Amino acid sequence: MVLVEAIILSVLAASTPLLLAATGELVTERAGVLNLGVEGMMIVGAACGFGGAWLSGSIVVGALCGIIAGMLMSLIFAFMTLGLAVNQVATGLALTIFGIGLSGLIGARFVGERINTAPHLSVPGLSDIPLVGRILFGEDAFVYLSLALIVAVWWFLYRTRAGLVLRACGDNHISAHALGYPVLRIRMLAVLFGGACAGLAGAYLPLAYTPFFIPGMTAGRGWIALALVVFASWRPGRLVIGAYLFGAVTILQLHAQGAGVGIPSQFMSALPYLATVIVLVLLSRARTGGSTAPAALGTVFVPDR
C-alpha cells in the first residue's frame, strides 16, 4: 500500500512539468503558432528558476524567474515568426539550440549548489486521510497549480469569447483578420503564455523535482510535451490523461530499474521516448476523417494593408 502511494506521488511529480509545458504549448498551437522551442524555453527556465531561488532563498522568486525567462525566450520567437514572418519550425529549432547554450552559460555557476525543494503541502486533518490524503492534499503546490491551470485554460478556450477568438485565429487567420481581430497580437499573447508555462515547467525541475541544477536536465521533456499536445488532439482534457500516462511510464521504468529487472537500464530509460513514437503513430493512424489540428497551425500570416 505504501509503495502504491509512493508510486502515485512520484507519478504526479514526474507528470507536472510535462503537463505545465504542454498546457502552454496547447494554447500557443490553438492560436495557430507551432513553437518547437519548448525544450529551449524549459531549460532556460530551469537555469533561471534555480538561480533565482538559490540567490533569494525563495521558491516563489525562483518560479517567477523561470516564468519570466520563459516569456523572454518566447518573445524572441514571437518577434521572429510573427514580426518577421520567419518559418516557425526553423525558428523553434533555433530557440532550442540557443536555449541549451544559454542555460549552460547561466547555470554554470549554480552547478553543484543545492536548495531546499518546494515544501509539500500539509492540510491539518485532510493530508492524514489514509491513501488519498497525501495524494489530494500533500503534494507540492505546483502539482495543484498545474491542474488548476489546465482547468482555467479549458474554461478560457471553450467558455469565453476571447477563447473563441483565439481558436478562430488558429483555424483561419484570414477570416479572423477580415472580422477585424488583431491576429498577430492575439498570437503573440498566446506565444507568451506558452513561454511562461514552459519556463515554469522548466523551473519545476530544480525547484521541486530535484534540489539541484544540472545542464541538460530537461532531457527531452519539452519535446515530449510537444508530442503530448498532438496526443491530446489539442484538447485540454486529454492533455491531463496524456501527461499522467507519460509520467507513469517514466516512473515505472525507474522502479523497474530499481527492482533490478534483468533488462539493461538503458533500455528502460529509452521507454518514454519509444512510447512517444509509438503513441504518435497509433494516434495518427486512428484518426479518420481529417486532422484535428488547428487548420492554420504553423502557417505564416502577413496582414495586407
Partner 1 sequence: MQLVLEKRAERSRTIALVSPLIAIGLTLVTMSVLFALLGKNPITALGVYFIAPLTDGYSLQEIAVKATPLVMIAIGLSLCYLANAWNIGAEGQFLIGAVAGSWIAVKTQGTEAGHWVLPAMLLAGAAAGALYALIPALCRVKFGASEILTSLMLVYVADLLLDYLVRGPWRDPAGFNFPTTAEFDPVATVPLLIEGGRLHLGSIIALIVVICAFVLLDRTIKGFEIRVVGVAPRAARFGGFNANQLVLVTFAISGALAGLAGIIEVAGPIGHLQPGISPGYGFTAIIVAFLGRLNPVGILIAGLFLALTFIGGEQAQITMKIPLDVTKVFQGILLFYVLACDSLILYRFKLVFAARQVQSGAG
Residues that bind partner 1 in the complex, under the rule CB under 8 A: 36, 76, 80, 83-87, 89-91, 93-95, 97-102, 104-105, 108, 215, 219-220, 223-224, 226-227, 230, 264, 266-267, 269-270, 273-274, 276-277, 280-285, 287, 291, 302, 304-305
120: helix, strand or coil: strand
Distance CA 251, CA 273 (A): 13
Tell which phi-psi region holds residue 112, choosing left (phi > 0), alpha (psi between -120 and 50) or beta.
Answer: left
8 A C-beta contact, residue 42 and residue 202: yes
Q: Which amino acid is at 182?
A: P
For 90, the enclosing helix (H) or strand (E) is: helix 88-107
Phi then psi for 244, rounded to 5 degrees? -70, -35
Q: Which amino acid is at 137?
A: F
8 A C-beta contact, residue 121 and residue 140: yes
Nine cell digits for residue 215: 545542464
Q: How far is the CB of 82 from partner 1 (least distance, A)?
A: 10
The residue among 73 and 150 lying less far from partner 1, judged by its C-beta, is 73
Q: Which of 204, 192, 157 is nearest to 18 (CA)?
A: 204
8 A C-beta contact, residue 127 and residue 121: yes
The residue among 85 and 241 lying less far from partner 1, judged by its C-beta, is 85
Handedness of CA 172, 177, 180, 184 (dihedral sign): positive
Q: How far is the CB of 145 from partner 1 (least distance, A)?
A: 26
Distance CA 173, CA 302 (A): 10
